[in-house]
Amino acid sequence: MSDFNQYTAAPEAPTAVPGAEERQWAMFAHLSALVGLIIPFGNLLGPLVVWLVKRDTMPFVADQGKEALNFQITVTVVCVVLGIAAFILSFVLIGFLLFPVIALVGLAALVLAIIAGIKANEGTAYRYPFSVRLIK
């Protein structure tokens, strides 16, 4: 397995059917990223807290919490890198074209987090596209 596949391959989803409380906490793991709309880096803190609190007692929440956290880390890194590039390139008037791209990344992250929350509440293990899985 190549290094790229090692970090981007989706882990195996839990096979047991999660209960109602477990599905609800998994949904919270995904939707807690919306805290980032109010608190800086809350998109990382929300899934991290849910994952750390429930990972030992609920396997489905552990899986979905890791998935949400990995995706939010990926989105944060992409937005920070694009923001730095946009700032530097704005001195030559090209960087202003990157600001709409940053907004689209944020909008896509919002939509995907909501979809993931809905799927987790249905009991389906959701896998985000384009997510670097740093936490195993």
**Residue-wise pLDDT tens digits, 36-94:** 888 888 889 999 999 999 989 999 999 999 999 999 999 999 999 999 999 999 888 88
pLDDT of residue 5: 57
CA geometry: angle at 42 spanning 38 and 76, to 5°? 110
Angle between helices 20-31 and 59-89 (to 10 degrees): 10
pTM for this structure? 0.82
